[in-house]
Chain A
Amino acid sequence: DTEVTQTPKHLVMGMTNKKSLKCEQHMGHRAMYWYKQKAKKPPELMFVYSYEKLSINESVPSRFSPECPNSSLLNLHLHALQPEDSALYLCASSQDWTSGGETQYFGPGTRLLVL
């Protein structure tokens, strides 16, 4: 099973709202990622968790707050977002973070619209 699940599929929120995106994998992977993808662009890395600890923050604004409650679950908490944050948010996981050639498995994404 190489499935990464994400909920919700779609999310509409106002700029004053607080919402959360959820990602789950049961492949025993120890690295999990959040990406942001704008239309007609490749995914951009936001955060990397390795063994449940934040390893990489690609200078993401603090209105995005990641959380890794356990090795299977990854959340992205959203607060006071801007309309330009509207995008497809992708979660991915891989066996490891430090080894080269590790395949990252992607979820279907959450399409976020900020009004």
Chain B
Amino acid sequence: AQSVTQLGSHVSVSEGALVLLRCNYSSSVPPYLFWYVQYPNQGLQLLLKYTSAATLVKGINGFEAEFKKSETSFHLTKPSAHMSDAAEYFCAVSDRSGGYNKLIFGAGTRLAVHP
């Protein structure tokens, strides 16, 4: 079965600093990987997804993620944090082992941005 591990349940950065949110996956087949963001009291919004077309994936709001097969990682980065980036971030892998497309989520990382 596929799984996702997000290292660090809380990450705190200063406004303008680099954002790095870590995600490692376990998959026996080439994975489809996703990053979603959830702002307080809202649903999940897709930031970006990896579908094997390119290892560096650019998403919305200045975020990007790099797929590294050798490290089984899909870390999310943003060069300069804004206050509005404060939210919960979920990494997810598409699990096709059951013959259907089920999203397996990591535990989430709460990003805090301080002035």
Query: A residues within 8 Å of B by Cβ?
Result: 4, 6, 40-43, 45, 48, 55-56, 90, 92, 94, 96-109, 111
- Contact residue range for chain B? 20 to 34
Q: Output the least CB separation between A69 and chain B (Å).
A: 22
Q: Count of A-B contacts with CB under 8 A?
A: 57
B17 in contact (CB, < 8 A): no
Query: B residues within 8 Å of A by Cβ?
Result: 32, 34, 36, 41-46, 49, 51, 90, 94, 96, 99-103, 105-108, 110
Contacting residues, chain B, for A107 (C-beta < 8 A): 43
Cα distance A100–B52 in the bound complex, in angstroms: 11
Contact A45 B102 (CB under 8 A): yes
Query: Given A40-B108, A43-B105, A100–B43 Cβ distance below 8 Å?
Result: no
Cα distance A45–B92 in the bound complex, in angstroms: 13
Q: Output the least CB separation between B8 and chain A (Å).
A: 14
Cα distance A101–B42 in the bound complex, in angstroms: 23
